[in-house]
Amino acid sequence: MSPAFAKVLRIWMMLLLALLVVQFALAGFGVGYSGALDDGFEMHFRNGNALLWLYAAAVLLALAARAGARIVWLTALGTFLVLLQHGMAVVNVPGTLWGQSLFLVHALNGLALIFLTHRTGALLRRQRRETQRVS
């Protein structure tokens, strides 16, 4: 494991976790602003785009950190889940049963992303501590 890249990846995962929590707040703001997918959701959309690129970069950081297959696959799964969020937003039809059901899955997928990001960071922290003890 590369200690420098592992430390950067750990900080990166904390940043992603914070941005995911902010993403939920921005979604709430959009709903409270007008409820329609317009100006109130602008920052939610922008943060979502940033999350996609930052999660994709996390995969590269995990590879550079040589943190092991599990961490790499978990970051790749996170990237896929963020991409899935984008896909759900594209195919959504607001005001229909399909659309409301998709919003439910969208929110649950967001919660899964928060859990996954936290868990990945915790695994990375534990792995770094074990590596430091062995050294």
Tokens of 97: 């049963």
Q: How confident is the model over 24-82, as pLDDT tens digits?
A: 999 888 877 766 666 778 898 999 999 999 999 999 999 999 989 999 999 999 999 99
Amino acid 17: pLDDT: 97
Closest CA to 23 of 9, 44, 54, 1: 44
Higher pLDDT, 25 or 132: 25
- Which residue's entry shows tokens 């590269």? 60
Answer whether 81's CB lies under 8 Å from 120's CB. no
Which DSSP state fits 36?
A: S
Confidence of residue 135 (pLDDT cuts 50, 70, 90): low
Return the axis-axis angle of helices 69-91 and 42-65, rounded to nearest 10°. Answer: 160
pLDDT of residue 131: 80
Question: One-letter amino acid identity for 131?
Answer: T
pLDDT digit string (tens) for 97-117?
888 888 899 999 999 999 999
pLDDT value at residue 20: 96
Other beta carbons within 10 angstroms of residue 112's beta carbon come to 14
Output the pTM of the full model: 0.87
Question: What pLDDT, on a 0 to 100 scale, did the predictor assign at position 35?
Answer: 60
